[in-house]
């Protein structure tokens, strides 16, 4: 055995100790680095990493708000929210998906023809996320599913709110409808208060009061794993429902008018002359907004759009018609005010009017004999108004009629309103390209005097003009929303409207003449609406016919319905304190007496019966 010297052993011991010292020092340095890093992570960088951690585990989900309700003036519900039940599947919880879908189809719980489409959607979606299989289950389908629930693991029934309109077709053009939110809709409103799941107003009141009806979404804090699956619900902030609307419409009068129209093409608008509240707002034919709001296929919607009777078209504010003889009381008032006619003077009517240096006569619909202002309105004598139009001239005639708010929008609280046309020389110059066609001819002045030619008005405009006649010169801007109810406090904020006083300068005796003529239309033998209303009824009115196609009057029975004249009626009641100013237009009705006046009679009778019951 070889023994190391004492010196050698000592050297080895020093080397060993140095190695231990070096290793310890290295460990200490590494530990210090780790320790310092931990300090930075836990103290200085803790907020950053905590935020990253939370973002990976917590998500905020919006809860769509319930939409505000809509009532009529008597608190009858017109638009509400109802739950519908839909069938949903979470694919990862379902074994043999194809087999299950076939079974659901066999039980008529899903559309058999859409199974392949559903399969494709399921394959493209996250397996842990719910897929809707049927958006609206019937009570029978719900019962069938309940009886077979044990074989449908991973499939369940969920509820959601949809808009429901109890009166269906009757109020559709006033209320409008709702639908799924689109990219264009996001541009119209603050996208931060929309979740993308709710329905949004598409037309009429639903659209124009969207911000009032919508409300504010709630929020839900969800704990999710790395795959996005919800593990827990940590917190919920409830949504704020939308505010309610109380409309000016009267359901009773609306129903009478709607039924009286019998689905014929046309419109009925009734206004309270004392405040501009719209009592009746009808456009026919109508449509059921429930079918659109609760889901309609593209082909079904296109069928609506392509329907020749245009049920989606809002005739009450966008239909523009020649007003025909309904403007005669307004024109007579202008003639009286400007001194062109004397109410006591009579002129002869031989059934036609001859314009100097004009080749053909302008025919009247009858020979009326000797007529003054009252009789001209009563019998709707065209010759009287041909002469008046020529005497006044197109510029003065146009200027005076515009004071009835014709030729401009009424500014009702609905979009899509048309302004109609009150023609004059400047209008024609601006609307015809050919210089030859830009000239205004005397014959055009003549036919403008009976509301034909280029003149156009909407039913709403004529109702507002009638309100001005009823009030002897003043009217209020028409509006459909009477009040907004704050959903939190229950407080009602009522709509204030502008009063228009364009004609209050006119002498009362001139207004008396116009009212006498309109009363005679309804109550005296030569009146164009005589016999339609009960005798001595407290109604003033004026019939009108709007020519669609120029044709010999003797041939009217032989022409197709779509070429017949439109029938019009304007009126107000009761005479002493008018409660309604009314306009009815029946497209291709063949004349105001036979088509529009009978509709007016039913409405006016309801108004007068109500007056008698109230003891007025």
Find out whether 577 and 612 touch, Cβ atoms under 8 Å: no
Helix axes 97-106, 115-124, angle to 10 degrees: 150
**3-state SS record for 308-323:** CCCCCCCHHHHCCECC
Residue 115: partners with Cβ closer than 8 Å, 6 or more residues away: 101, 102, 105
The beta strand positions in 519-608, using DSSP E, are 540-546, 566-573, 580-586
Q: What number of other Cβ atoms are within 10 A of residue 162's Cβ?
A: 17
Beta carbons of 183 and 208 less than 8 angstroms apart: no
Q: Of residues 62, 204, 251, 325, which has the active-site annotation?
A: 325
Q: Could you tell me the CA-to-CA distances from 206 to 267, 289, 590 in Å, in that order?
A: 20, 11, 35
For residue 469, the Cα-to-chain-centroid distance in whole angstroms is 28
Q: Give dist(CA 72, CA 248) in Å, integer.
A: 6
Burial class (CB in 10 A: 0-12, 13-18, 19+), 491: exposed
User: d(Cα 527, Cα 386) in Å, to the nearest integer?
Assistant: 19
**CA dihedral (143, 149, 152, 158) positive or negative:** positive
- The answer to whether the beta carbons of residues 421 and 451 sit under 8 Å apart is no
The whole-angstrom separation of Cα 269 and Cα 370 is 35
d(CA 501, CA 497): 13
Among residues 407, 368, 393, which one has the least CA distance to residue 448? 393
Give, for 75, the enclosing helix (H) or strand (E): none
What whole-number distance in Å separates Cα of residue 567 and Cα of residue 594? 8
- Do the Cβ atoms of 353 and 382 come closer than 8 Å? yes
- Whether 325 is catalytic is yes
CA atoms within a 13 Å half-sphere pointing along the CA-CB vector of 601:
20
CA 104 to CA 102: how far, in whole Å?
A: 5
Residues marked active site are found at: 325
């Amino acid at each position: 055995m070889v023994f190391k010297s004492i010196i050698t052993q000592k050297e080895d011991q020093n080397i060993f100790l140095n190695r231990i010292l070096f290793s310890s020092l290295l460990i200490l340095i590494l530990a210090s680095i780790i320790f310092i890093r931990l300090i930075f992570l836990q103290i200085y960088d803790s907020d950053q990493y905590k935020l990253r951690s939370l973002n990976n585990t917590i998500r905020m989900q919006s809860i769509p708000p319930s939409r505000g309700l809509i009532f009529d003036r008597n608190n009858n519900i017109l638009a509400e929210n109802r739950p519908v039940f839909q069938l949903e599947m979470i694919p990862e919880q379902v074994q043999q998906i194809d087999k299950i879908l076939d079974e659901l189809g066999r039980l008529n719980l899903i559309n058999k023809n859409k199974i392949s489409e559903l399969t494709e959607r399921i394959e493209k979606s996250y397996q842990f996320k719910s897929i809707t299989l049927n958006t609206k289950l019937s009570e029978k389908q719900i019962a069938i599913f309940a009886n077979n629930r044990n074989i449908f693991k991973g499939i369940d029934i969920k509820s959601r709110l949809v808009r429901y309109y109890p009166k269906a077709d009757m109020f559709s053009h006033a209320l409008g409808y709702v639908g799924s939110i689109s990219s264009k809709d996001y541009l119209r409103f603050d996208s931060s208060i929309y979740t993308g799941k709710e329905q949004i107003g598409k037309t009429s009141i639903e659209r124009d009061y969207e911000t009032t009806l919508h409300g504010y979404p709630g929020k839900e804090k969800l704990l999710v794993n790395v795959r996005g699956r919800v593990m827990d619900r940590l917190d919920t902030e409830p949504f704020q429902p939308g505010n309610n609307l109380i409309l000016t419409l009267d359901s009773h009068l609306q129903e009478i008018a709607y039924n009286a129209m019998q689905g014929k093409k046309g419109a009925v608008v009734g206004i309270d002359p004392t405040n501009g509240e719209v009592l009746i707002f009808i456009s026919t034919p109508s449509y059921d907004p429930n079918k659109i709001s609760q889901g309609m296929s593209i082909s079904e919607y296109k069928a609506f759009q392509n329907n020749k009777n245009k049920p989606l078209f809002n005739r009450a504010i966008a239909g523009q018609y020649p007003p025909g003889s309904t403007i005669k009381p307004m024109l007579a008032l202008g003639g009286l005010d400007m001194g062109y006619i004397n109410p006591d003077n009579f002129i002869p009517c031989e059934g036609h009017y001859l314009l100097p240096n004009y080749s053909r006569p302008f025919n009247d619909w009858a020979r009326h004999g000797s007529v003054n202002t009252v009789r001209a309105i009563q019998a709707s004598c065209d010759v009287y108004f041909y002469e008046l139009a020529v005497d006044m001239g197109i510029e003065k005639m146009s200027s005076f009629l515009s004071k009835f708010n014709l030729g401009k929008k009424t500014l009702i609280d609905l979009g899509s309103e048309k302004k109609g046309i009150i023609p004059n020389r400047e209008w024609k110059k601006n609307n015809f390209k050919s210089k030859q066609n830009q000239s205004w001819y005397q014959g055009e002045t003549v036919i403008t005097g009976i509301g034909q030619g280029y003149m156009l008005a909407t039913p709403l405009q004529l109702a507002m003009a009638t309100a001005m006649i009823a009030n002897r010169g003043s009217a209020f801007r028409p509006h459909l929303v009477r009040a907004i109810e704050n959903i939190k406090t229950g407080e009602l904020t009522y709509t204030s409207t502008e009063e228009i006083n364009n004609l209050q300068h006119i002498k009362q005796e001139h207004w008396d003449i116009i009212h006498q003529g309109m009363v005679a239309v309804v109550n005296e033998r030569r009146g164009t609406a005589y016999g339609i209303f009960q005798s001595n009824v407290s109604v003033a009115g004026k019939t009108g016919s709007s020519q669609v196609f120029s044709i010999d009057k003797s041939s009217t029975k032989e022409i197709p319905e779509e070429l017949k004249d439109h029938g019009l009626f304007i009126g107000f009641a009761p005479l002493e304190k008018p409660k309604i100013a009314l306009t009815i237009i029946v497209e291709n009705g063949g004349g105001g007496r036979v088509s529009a006046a009978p509709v007016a009679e039913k409405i006016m009778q309801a108004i007068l019966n109500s007056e008698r019951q109230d003891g007025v």
